Chain A
Amino acid sequence: MNAPIASVASVADLHHQSIGPNRRLLAAAFAQTEFKIGLVLLTLLIGTAFIYPNLANVSATKISVMERFLPPFFMHGGNLKHLLGTDQLGRDLFVRTLIGLQNALLISLCSVVLMFVIGATIGMTAGYYGGWIDTVLMRLTDAQLAIPLIVLAITFLTVHRPTPQAIVLVLSLAGWPAYARVTRSVMLSERRREYVRGAKILGASDLRIILQMIAPNILPPVMFVAVLDIARMMIFEAILGFIGIGIQPPTPTFGTIIADGRNYLINGWWIPTMPGLFLFATLLGINLIGACVERARNMLLRGAI
């Protein structure tokens, strides 16, 4: 990791030492080439996903028997009206994919925010108070970790109708334990710091100490790492759709498009593969950004930046 460290050093020299660790972390992440690649890839994909379906006058759900199994534009028989061709019902695959991308992004963003809030709340409470509260909360966390996410998700979503809200809830239920553990361990050392003890002596309430004084110090580094979870949750959203308990048709999602196209693997191979390629590219963008942030965080912990 010599190259990033060198470039980071120059970034650090430009600014004064007084800039905070969070700003330094972001600067170190941005200094890496892979971060920029990921950012460009992601911007392009998200931009297309939110602009193209509005510009192109093509419906995502209109069935057209005459245009079934049209191949993508680069193959013989394809045309530019349907860039990725059409599916088994003659619906435009490109617009369906992009709308699926919109849905996946919104759901995963919401669930990451929610799991962060749940996990941080539980972790901070357990770490701050310690004692039996800590024991109870951490045993719950361990128990949650012991259930495979998928088992929990399919059990819950067969009980409850798979509305977007229920899906967000399930995804965040599956992800909060990691955040609870990390926040707790940081909180354990933070609560002994001078400023916390001082605030206590001055009579500040626990809620105020935790939310106004400790949280701004310990949460941002955890938040940066949450970037990687956005990608993980997008995969999970797609898996749920794939086994039929994601957002229900006719709304297109990656999972349902690929699951439906699975039966046409031989005579319409683009139907399951092309949407997956877009999902892959989006995940790659997020993961490149996330990995750079994580690398920057490791440098920060080592004191290299």
Chain B
Amino acid sequence: MVFLFDFLARRLAQGILIVLIVSFGIFAILRMVPGDPVRMILGPMANAAAVEAAAQKLGLRDPIPVQYFHWLGNVVRGDLGNSFSKGKAGQSSARADQQSDSDKARVVDLLRGAVPMTLQLAGLALVFTALISVPLGVAAGLFSGRLPDKVAFYVGSIFVSVPNFWCALVLVLVVSAQLNLLPSIGYEGFAYTILPAVVIAIEMSPIFMRALAISIADVHRQNFVQLETIRGIGFPRIFLHHIVRNATVPILNLFGVQIGALLSGVLIVEYVFNYPGFGLLTVQAVSQRDFPVIQGAALLSAMLFVVINMLVDLISTWIDPRLDF
């Protein structure tokens, strides 16, 4: 237990460091944006004195490190600030000049509204990814060089070559517009999650399929697996207890590395489908120069990356005790 605790503490420290670097990086880049965010809040008609006053109040004229530590102090207290452009109800405010600071939506609330939608999308996408990549990948690994391997190779090559946004448009055109099978643009119920999830699954599955095929083939080739057949152990048992168990660790690690790619996929797919999740929120925030929302989104995705990778390491050591912390 002591080394487990030690491991967790060390990884946590590393994780916090990563999150700090990422958030400061994004923070610094955002402060170099030409164009004054105060102008976006107050509108083009506001006079210079009002702009200056608002900028002072928001702390936008302080040096970058000062602003950063101010922001960080609030984050620790659970306050990510208020959106520059989104009103309480979630729409961009039309009468921006009449609004006071408190009328703006809190970033925490915006994230809290968007993240469950994205989790639903990402979850369904992972289910679809598993449905595609596990059967094909396992078959390709067990029968490497033969037909299943070839099939997996071609399916993987085709899927990985489909640009996600184009795939989304084609699916909207064929499945929604022509065949009228599934709804697609916006969100009015669970059915709206299916097409976006399919697009993400098409993007993600080749990576996992190929990795699964390679690691299963590798384990299958090992002496101990070949010997078990000679010892008379049945194939289902060899497969479940030895092949799957040994092949899981690389896949888990791959999953940790691919979190960033998954998030990128979610972002673009949500944008195309106008799906009201984390990705759409981020894209809109960037186009509106909504600093607090962008910072909150970057912080959240970095934290997600760190936490998932810690979990991956923990589960890996639990599955394969030979790995040490």
Contact = CB atoms under 8 A, between A and B. Distances in A.
Contacts of A235: 163-164
B18 A146 contact: yes
A2 B30 contact: no
B22 interface: yes
Contact of B289 (A4, A158, A284): A158
Given A146-B301, A149-B260, A265-B169, A238 B163 contact: yes
A249 to B, nearest CB: 17
- Per CB-CB distance, the 6 closest pairs between chain A and chain B, nearest first, are A276-B166, A2-B145, A283-B161, A143-B21, A1-B145, A146-B305
A158 B286 contact: yes
Chain B interface size, under 10 / 10 to 19 / 20 to 34 / 35 or more = 35 or more
B85 to A, nearest CB: 14
Interface string B159-182: 011111110011011000100000
A155 interface: yes
Contact of A242 (B165, B264, B298): B165
Interface string A135-152: 000011011011111110
Contacts of A2: 144-146
Contact of A151 (B144, B289, B297): B297
A258 B282 CA distance: 22
Interface in B161-215: 161-166, 169-170, 172-173, 177, 210, 214
B286 A154 contact: yes
A80 interface: no
Given A1-B149, A239-B268, A291-B157, A269 B173 contact: yes
Given A151-B301, A242-B165, A231 B160 contact: yes
A67 interface: no
Interface in A75-91: none
Contacts of A279: 163, 166
Interface of B: 14, 17-19, 21-22, 25-26, 29-30, 32-34, 144-146, 149, 153, 156-158, 160-166, 169-170, 172-173, 177, 210, 214, 217, 257, 260-261, 263-264, 267-268, 271, 282-283, 286-287, 289, 294, 297-298, 301-302, 305-306
Contacts of B297: 151
A151 B264 CA distance: 8
A60 to B, nearest CB: 20
A243 B162 contact: no
Contacts of A231: 160-161
A146 B22 contact: yes
Given A265-B169, A298-B214, A147 B163 contact: no
B157 A143 contact: no
A52 interface: no
A266 B176 CA distance: 11
A147 B161 contact: no
B283 A243 contact: yes
A294 to B, nearest CB: 8
Nearest to B32: A159
Given A151-B301, A258-B169, A276-B169, 15 more contacts: A1-B144, A139-B17, A140-B21, A143-B302, A146-B305, A148-B263, A148-B264, A151-B298, A158-B289, A159-B32, A239-B163, A242-B268, A258-B166, A286-B161, A288-B157
A159 B34 contact: yes
Given A145-B260, A158-B33, A280-B161, A243 B271 contact: yes
Contacts of A254: 163
A3 interface: yes
B294 A155 contact: yes
A139 B33 contact: no
Contacts of A242: 165, 268
A265 B172 contact: yes
Interface in A88-117: none
B29 to A, nearest CB: 6
B29 A238 contact: no
Interface in A227-245: 231, 235, 238-239, 242-243
Contacts of A142: 14, 18
